[in-house]
């Protein structure tokens, strides 16, 4: 997305507003926290439509001690989680979902094209289709530089009440 963004969501907001920001912006939208927050910064967030975010994979990420000793690579399930968190940013940035939780309700057609090494910066782009009654489907792609490294279709369910969706 080439449009300029309003850092940390400042300024007037409308349906096509492009937002971006760092840790405070991200934790102001997502309920995730360390050690399970896999977004370092947002590049752009169009509420309810799409999000592009980055994650700096730490060289000393504890998961690498066991996956795999002497040959550390980021588990595919965490790449999917990174993409899901980017999709959740797009959904939860909508005013009606402020303070809610977006659950990952499904993953289809997940593909991994190359490994992710310690010290890599990942970028995810997630485009959300129609959202009905808190359920949305998104097309997610992860990149290292310009190289696509993973993709999936994801289904999100936003909890709008304490007892369900």
In eight-state DSSP terms, residue 130 is E
Vertex 141 angle, CA 136 and 144, to 5°: 150
Of 6, 28, 63, 67, the catalytic one is 67
Q: Phi and psi (nearest 5°) for 108? A: -125, 150
C-alpha to C-alpha distance for 80 and 153, rounded to whole angstroms: 10
Angle at 121 between CA 119 and CA 122, to 5 degrees: 130
Q: Is 67 a catalytic residue?
A: yes
Of 52, 49, 58, nearest in space to 26 by CA: 52
Quick one: tokens of 85?
């968190």
d(CA 2, CA 135): 28
**What is the Cα–Cα distance from 160 to 102, expressed in whole angstroms?**
9
The catalytic site residues sit at: 67
């Amino acid at each position: 997305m080439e449009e300029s963004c309003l850092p940390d969501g400042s300024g007037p907001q409308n349906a096509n507003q492009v937002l971006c920001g760092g840790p405070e912006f991200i934790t102001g939208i997502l309920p995730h926290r360390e050690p399970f927050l896999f977004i370092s910064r947002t590049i752009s967030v169009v509420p309810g439509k799409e999000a592009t975010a980055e994650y700096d994979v730490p060289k000393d990420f504890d998961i690498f001690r066991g996956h795999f000793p002497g040959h550390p690579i980021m588990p595919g399930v965490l790449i999917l989680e990174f993409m899901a968190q980017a999709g959740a940013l797009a959904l939860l940035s909508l005013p009606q979902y402020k303070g809610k939780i977006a659950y990952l309700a499904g993953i289809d057609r997940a593909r991994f094209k190359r490994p992710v090494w310690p010290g890599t910066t990942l970028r995810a782009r997630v485009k959300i289709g129609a959202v009905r009654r808190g359920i949305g489907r998104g097309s997610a792609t992860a990149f290292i530089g310009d190289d696509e490294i993973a993709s999936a279709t994801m289904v999100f369910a936003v909890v709008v009440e304490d007892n369900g969706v």
